[in-house]
Amino acid sequence: MDFSQRLSLLKNVLGVSNAALAKALSVDPSLVSRWKNGTRTPSRNSQHIDQIASFFAQHAKKDYQKLAICEVIGIPAQNLEKESLKNIIKSWLDSVSMPDTNLIDGFLNKVGMFKTSPVHIQSDIASQSETEPTSGQKIECEIFYGVEGKQRGVMKFLSFALRNSQPSELLLYSDEAIDWFAYDKAYLSRLGGTLITLAMKGWKIKMVHTVTRDITEMLAAIDFWLPLYMTGSVTPYYNPKYREHYFRRTLFVIPKIAAFTCTTLEKFEQQTVNFLITEKQIVELLTQEYERFLSTCRPLMEIPQIGSDELFSLLEDFEEQPSNGFTISYAPSITTMPGELLEKILSRHQVEMKEKIMAHWRKKSSLFERSLRKCKMTHVLVLPSVESLTAGQAEVPIELPEAGVELFYTPQEYVEHLESVISFLKKYDNYNLYLAPRTVSEGVFVAVKDQVGVVVFKKDPPVRMFAINHPDMTNAFYCYAEEFINKLPLHGKQREQVIRAIENLIDSIRGNTK
């Protein structure tokens, strides 16, 4: 039973409306409606669960109501005091799988701090990867036994790709327990390095992740393979129809060259029989099997090349979807920047894609203003110090990582953008700007739209964009943004005080640049 079903049961027992619960929690009734229909779930770290439990414990005033709640929860019927009933309800709701926003914070920090160039890993690993492991028993294919055999078999499978003169495609899927490689650090380094080497040689990798409703599993998989994702050569997928099984399957394929496959019981890896197949007809049949499976999957995330048409299209599509959203960044959004100012900045930096970026800005800013007519958009911004703009101590970057080069404001350019931001605040009630002492992670900005998706940009080399539309991931990031904003000081969220703070900064910049 998921959170939405448990909430519905509690509401039905006490005859509580969405509006009544929303009012008690000081949230919009539409949020309660989304909790009830399962399109949103409170995060594990939010105060909502405690507030919901308190609300229902407070409203269960009659003995029959308390007994009914006990029956719904599945505990012996008893007449409980309010505090005891609250704790039982809270524990029952907490037992549901819900997004842990601490994992989002960890993921964003790891993305922001990622500095290792895949080229360095390639030089360390390539010589090891070229060495062909010892062959297994040959019976129309090669057979490898147990965990050690699986390790040797996978490396030999990858060696076929390493020796291939032309880069091709690597198809990977496994729902086996990851113990066979994750806890052997030497082997893990070799496996990861080999895959990165292949990516740097031009191989494209399709990887189907095993994910259930548990967002923790999804984030762990993304975190684990982050260095490989940073190469930009991986397309990760997930299967929405996946269910837990007693039997686990691994299927790795290099079309027209080789396949590695096995089926196991999860707890009996030592008895595994692993098959490395090079017979062309069987490889072709297994390739077809993988492709049929892939057709039932969806992209877990998209990682387009910086500056590509795909990247600009994804950003524009994201902007076009009408929904409430948050952006947490180190600089004002280009959607609030005047076009003539952006054109001047691009010319000053001699950006090669100037015309492409200007066309992108025109479409994106138009869509942004159109969405403000019916949807709320909140930008969270970290204001720089006056000294960082006027004394040359630090340069303030412009939020335009899709350009593929770092761009910076002059003091006057920053003032012009801030003046435009103030105009947006005065023109659109649905536009909010909050001031924060820090962003989510140095070098990263996040944009999330409710029930639409997430965009994560890493602005420092290697520059990467992650576009995510998995509903559970979107929900987790949205909860993370809400919690981040809830922790901001009140004066940083009040419109008039925010405008005053920006105007004071503008006056200080002008006073220091005369």
Q: Is the pLDDT of residue 134 over 90?
A: no
Side-chain-side CA neighbours of 94 within 13 Å: the count stands at 14
More confident residue, 60 or 394: 60
Residue with tokens 């998921």: 2
Chain segment 337-387, per-residue pLDDT in tens: 999 999 999 999 999 899 999 999 999 999 999 999 999 999 999 888 887
- pLDDT over 60 (residue 404): yes
The CB-side HSE value for 83 (13 A sphere, CA atoms) comes to 0
Q: Distance between CA 257 and CA 254 in Å, rounded? A: 5
In eight-state DSSP terms, residue 440 is S
What tokens does 209 get?
Answer: 């992740």
**Is the predicted pLDDT of residue 166 greater than 70, yes or no?**
yes
Over the chain, what is the mean pLDDT?
85
d(C-alpha 32, C-alpha 18), whole Å:
6
What's phi and psi for 459, nearest 5 deg? -90, -20
Give the per-residue SS3 of 78-133: CCCCHHHHHHHHHHHHHCCCCCCHHHHHHHHHHHHHCCCCHHHHHHHHHHHHCCCC
- Is a pLDDT exceeding 60 seen at residue 235? yes
Question: How many angstroms separate the CA atoms of 297 and 238, rounded?
Answer: 5
Residue partners of 436: CB distance under 8 A and separation at least 6? 328, 380, 381, 382, 484, 488, 492
Phi then psi dihedrals of residue 252, to 5 deg: -115, 135
- The neighbour count for residue 168, using CB atoms within 10 Å, is 14
More confident residue, 149 or 271: 149
* pLDDT reported for residue 336: 95
Q: Measured between alpha carbons, how far is 98 from 7 in angstroms, rounded to an integer? A: 13
Instruction: Write the DSSP symbol of residue 403.
Output: G
Residue 430's pLDDT is what? 96
Greater confidence (402 vs 317) lies with 317
Res 66: pLDDT: 80
pLDDT over 60 at 124, yes or no: no
Sorted by sequence, the CB contacts under 8 Å of residue 365 that are 6+ apart come out as 334, 335, 336, 337, 339
The span from the CA of 174 to the CA of 88, in Å, is 39
pLDDT at 195: 94
List strands edge to edge, sheet with 142-145: 137-138, 142-145, 273-277, 258-265, 247-254, 169-174, 204-209, 234-238, 298-299
- How big, in percent rounded to 5, are the helix, strand and coil portions of the chain? 50, 15, 30
Segment 147-170 shows an average pLDDT of: 94
Comparing 84-98, 223-237, 298-312, 462-476, the range with the smallest average pLDDT is: 84-98
Q: Is 448 helix (H, G, I), strand (E, B) or coil?
A: strand
Task: Find the mean pLDDT for residues 395-405.
Answer: 83
pLDDT for 118: 44
Please list the residues that pair with 209 across neighbouring strands: 238
- DSSP codes of every residue in 282-328: HHHHHHHHHHHHHTT-EES-B-PPTT-HHHHHHHHHHHHS---EEEE
> Where residue 126 falls among pLDDT bands split at 50, 70, 90?
very low
Model pTM score: 0.76
Rg over alpha carbons for the chain, rounded to the nearest Å, is 27
Range of 22-31, 207-216, 235-244, 290-299 with top mean pLDDT: 290-299
- Whether omega for the bond prior to residue 462 falls within 30 degrees of 0, making it cis, is yes
- Is 135 or 318 the better-scoring residue by pLDDT? 318
Hey, what amino acid is at 376? K
Distance (Å, whole) CA 408 – CA 346: 10
Look up residue 161 and give its amino acid: A
